[in-house]
Structure 1
Amino acid sequence: MTFSLVARCEMTGMFGVAISSSSPAVAARCSYARAGVGAVASQNVTDPTLGPLALDLMEGGLSASEAVSEVKRRGAFIEYRQVLAVDRSGMTAIHSGPNSLGIWTQAEGPNVASGGNLLANDSVPQAIVDGFVLAKGHLGDRLIAAMRAGLAAGGEAGPVHSAGMKLVDKVAWPVADLRCDWTEDCPIEAVATAWDIYKPQLDAYVQRALDPRAAPSYGVPGDE
C-alpha cells in the first residue's frame, strides 16, 4: 500500500524520508530520521517500533546493513514488514518480507534506497532511485522529484491518498516534517506545494529556535 525512499545528501549530511500510500496518515506511522544518524522507513503491514529501533542501532555504531539485520532478528512477524535504511556513510539496506503485499520490490543507489508494496508494477522503486540520483538541489527538492518519478512510473496499484516528507539536519528536531494525511487529489503534489512554501523559511525557523534575538521578523500580523 506504500512506496517510499530514504536518502542522505552527500554534500550536507542531511537525511530525509518521503513516502506515499493509499492509507491515511502514512508518514505518521512509517517515517523516521535522526540527525547525524540516518533515516528509516518501516512500512507494509507497519510496525512503528522498527524505525526507532533501527535508528538506535545505527546511533550505537551499526551500519545500515547491520541494523536492518538486527531488526530482522528482533522484530515480530518480520515476514510481513518492509524496512529501508540509510546510514551516516550513505550506505543502505532493505528488508522486504516474503509476505509483503501485492507487487513488491526494492532498489538502491548511492545514498538512497526505495521500496514499495501493492505497486502498479515492479519498476517503481528503481524509477524513484533514478529520479533522486538525477535530481539536483536541496535534499527536499530531490525527494519530491523522486516521488514524482515513482508516481509517473505507475506508483501504487490504486490511487494514493496520503504522503509525507521528513528532513533532519544538525539539530535534534526535524527541520521539515510536511504531511498530507488524506486527500482525494494527489497527496504528493500537496506535500510539494507545502515544501515550496516552507523551503524559503526553513533556516529562519531553525534560527528562531536557536536564538530568536538573531532571527528574522516573524511575518505575521502585528509583528514589527
Structure 2
Amino acid sequence: MTFSLVARCPDTGMFGIAISSSSPAVAARCAYTRAGVGAVASQNVTDPTLGPLTLDLMQGGMSAEAAVARVASEAKFVEYRQVMAVDKTGATAIHSGPNSLGIWTQAQAENVASAGNLLDNEGVPQAIVDAYLSATGHIGDRLIAAMRAGLAAGGEAGPVHSAGLQIADKVAWPVADLRCDWTEDCPIEAIATAWEVYKPQLDAYVQRALDPRAAPSYGVPGDD
C-alpha cells in the first residue's frame, strides 16, 4: 500500500525520506531520519519500531547493509516487512519480506533507495531512483521530483491518500517534517505545495531554535 524513497545529499550530508500510501497518516508510522546517521523507511504491514532500531544500529557504527541485515535476522515477522536505509557514506540497503503485499519490488543506487508494495507495476521504484538521481537542487526538491515520477510511473495499484516528507540536517530534530494524513486529492501534490511554502523558511526555523536573538522577524504585530 506504499511507495517511498530514502536519500542522502552528497553535497550537504542531509538525509531525507518521502513516502505515499493509500493508508492514512503513512509518514507517522514509516518515516525516520537522523542527522549524521541516515534515513530509514519501515513499511508494509508496518512495525514502527524497526525505523529507530535501524538508525540506532547505524549510529553505533554499522553500515546500512549490516543494520538492515541485523534487523531482518532478529525482528519478528520480518517476512511481512519492507525496511530500507541509507547511511552517512551513501550506502543503501533494502529488505523486502516475501509476504509483502501485491506487486512489490525495490531499486537502489548510491545515496538513494526505493521500495513499494501493492504497486501498479514493478517499474515504480526504479523510476523513483532515476528521478532522484537526475533531479537537481535542494534534497527536498529532489524528493518531490522522485515521488512525482513514481506516481507518473503508476504508483500504487489504487489511489493514494496520504504522504510525507522528512529531512534531517545537523540538529537533533527533523528540519522539515511535512505530512498530508488524508485527502481525496493527490497527497503528493499537497506535500509539494507545503514544501514550496516551508522551504524558504526552513533555515529561519532552525535559527529560532538555536538562538532566537539572531532569528529573522516573526512578522507578527508588535515584532520589530
TM-score by length of 2: 0.99
Find the aligned partners of 1:195 and 1:76 in 2 and give their Cα distance.
Answer: 36
**Equivalent residues in 2 for 1:30-69, closer than 5 Å:** 30-69=30-69
Structure-2 residue corresponding to 1:167: 167
Q: Structure 1 stretches of 5 or more lacking a match?
A: none
Deviations 1:173-193 (A, max 9, x none): 000000000000000000000
Deviations 1:109-164 (A, max 9, x none): 12000000000000000000001000000000000000000000000000000000
Find the aligned partners of 2:51 and 2:162 in 1 and give their Cα distance.
Answer: 19
Q: SS of 1:106's equivalent?
A: strand
Q: SS of 1:204's equivalent?
A: helix
User: Are 1:194 and 2:194 an aligned pair?
Assistant: yes
**Equivalent residues in 2 for 1:142-161, closer than 5 Å:** 142-161=142-161
TM-score by length of 1: 0.99
**Aligned-pair distance for 1:223?**
2.3
Whether contact under 8 Å (1:81, 1:95) holds in the other structure is yes
Structure-2 residue corresponding to 1:77: 77
Structure-1 residue corresponding to 2:179: 179
**Aligned-pair distance for 1:220?**
2.6
**Aligned-pair distance for 1:9?**
0.2
Structure-2 residue corresponding to 1:107: 107
> One-letter code of the match for 2:167?
L
Q: Structure 2 stretches of 5 or more lacking a match?
A: none
Q: SS of 2:193's equivalent?
A: helix
Q: SS of 1:86's equivalent?
A: strand
**Moved >2 Å (runs of 4+):** 220-224
Find the aligned partners of 1:70 and 1:205 in 2 and give their Cα distance.
Answer: 36
Whether contact under 8 Å (1:110, 1:133) holds in the other structure is no
- What percentage of aligned pairs have identical amino acids? 81
Find the aligned partners of 1:70 and 1:95 in 2 and give their Cα distance.
Answer: 10
**Aligned-pair distance for 1:222?**
3.5
**Aligned-pair distance for 1:74?**
1.5
Over aligned residues, Cα RMSD in angstroms? 0.6
